[in-house]
Amino acid sequence: MNMSQTKDIRTEEFLINMGPQHPSTHGVLFLEVKLDGEIVVDCTTHIGYLHRSMEKIAENRTYTQFIPFTDRIDYVASMNNNLGYVTAVEKLMNLEVPERAKYIRVIVAELNRIASHLIGIGTFAQDLGAFATPLFYCFREREKIIDIFDRICGNRLTYNYMRIGGVQFDLPKGIDETIKQFIAYMRPKLDDYDTLLTYNAIFLARSKGIGVLPKSLAIDYSVSGPNLRASGVRWDIRKEEPYLVYEKMEFDIPVGVNGDAWDRYKVRIEEMRQSLRIVEQALGALPEGDPTVKAGRIQKIAPGEAYMRTENPRGELGFYIVSDGSTYPYRLKIRAPSFSNLALLPELVKGLKVADIICVLGSLDILMGEIDR
């Protein structure tokens, strides 16, 4: 063959559809990926497959009736969503919650943060090809937290536990012992993860230096939560605008150095350690008393508006509530952290290989229920 003919051969750009039904997209996410060989040239994100028009539904529900819907925004961190919503309504009403309710809220929110991060890192390891074992280990630990929640509120996934003015039930007798046992059980497990996964050579090779998110880009895209902190920004709403009793709690904000996929994973592992610290302190300082104020089942809220953001496992969850004086919210905007965290995906994956899309997506720990609402 004449060698001069071969130089005319070139590779065509190739378009592949990833999703909406794909095991690695963490829900129904549709990525349109343009490839040059194995290199990603362009990536377009299509979302909305799980859109349930929560904001419209809210306008037709009373304030209390909307609480079960918040369970389903980010369905692996329902407690934190409940918390974000009820604190926003309480801010709008200027309602002070009893001390005991604040502590209970902190305990369940931090336990749920651990449960959520366990899913995050478990599925991330699964995406990288550590098939089943890390995920099963994470689910084994998460199961213990779910059992605790089952005893506290009777539900395993969608808790519907917080109420405007407090919590639905007081903690059951003996639950503090169970939680203490869980803390003692969980601490060595986190060290196990470090030896099994965090510094595993294959895991490092797949995640180190992949999907590097610089500090300025992260802020520009309004990325929040562990993803922002992995880029080296020391920013946590629990410290910046402390709500409930977080100002009395002693904990550190873990930050990353490079902002790559491994840092995002590592920050989550460290955050679980910090959450255990918070739960331990809150249990120790738990005051006696009634865990709820009698706010009544139907609230009529004076006209006004309030914006409240809380630190969810995935970032800053904001509720913007406008009241017109009736028993229904006039407008309720949910600012979902994953929505902004996903927006920058095309930016991160350009120039990487196809398999790295999965790695970056897994490390961002998005949740489609929250993005589409």
Q: Which is nearer to other proteins, 21 or 181 (CB)?
A: 21
166: left (phi over 0), alpha (psi -120 to 50) or beta: left
Q: Is 294 in the site for other proteins (CB under 8 A)?
A: no
Tokens 């939680």 belong to residue: 179
Q: In whole angstroms, how close is the CB of 12 to other proteins at the nearest point?
A: 25
Q: Which is nearer to other proteins, 51 or 156 (CB)?
A: 51
Interface characters, 333-352, with other proteins (x: CB under 8 A): x-x---xx--xx--------
Q: In whole angstroms, how close is the CB of 194 to other proteins at the nearest point?
A: 30
Q: Which is nearer to other proteins, 41 or 50 (CB)?
A: 50
Count of residues near other proteins by CB under 8 A: 39
Looking at residue 336, its amino acid is A
Q: Which stretch binds other proteins (CB under 8 A): 43-51, 68-76, 202-210, 263-271?
A: 43-51
- C-alpha distance from residue 192 to each of 14, 137, 219, 224 (Å): 42, 10, 33, 28
Residue selected from 21, 60, 94, 133 as contacting other proteins according to rule CB under 8 A:
60
The answer to whether the CB of 310 falls within 8 A of the CB of 317 is yes
Q: Is 62 in the site for other proteins (CB under 8 A)?
A: yes
How many CB atoms are located within 10 Å of the residue 82 CB?
A: 28
Q: Is 47 in the site for other proteins (CB under 8 A)?
A: yes
Q: Is 305 in the site for other proteins (CB under 8 A)?
A: yes
Interface positions, 199-228, toward other proteins (CB under 8 A): 216-217, 219-222
Give the pair of three-digit tokens for residue 123.
């599925």
Task: Report how far apart the first and last C-alpha atoms of the chain are (Å, whole number).
Answer: 59
Q: Which is nearer to other proteins, 13 or 324 (CB)?
A: 324
Q: From CA 113, how far away is CA 111, in angstroms rounded?
A: 5
Q: In whole angstroms, how close is the CB of 235 to other proteins at the nearest point?
A: 6
Q: Which is nearer to other proteins, 310 or 340 (CB)?
A: 340
Q: Is 322 in the site for other proteins (CB under 8 A)?
A: yes
Q: From CA 159, how far away is CA 107, in angstroms rounded?
A: 14
Q: Which stretch binds other proteins (CB under 8 A): 4-12, 44-52, 136-144, 180-188?
A: 44-52
Q: Is 320 in the site for other proteins (CB under 8 A)?
A: yes
Binding residues for other proteins (CB under 8 A): 47-48, 51, 53, 55-56, 60-62, 216-217, 219-222, 233, 235, 240, 298, 304-305, 307, 309, 316, 318, 320, 322, 327-328, 330-331, 333, 335, 339-340, 343-344, 372-373
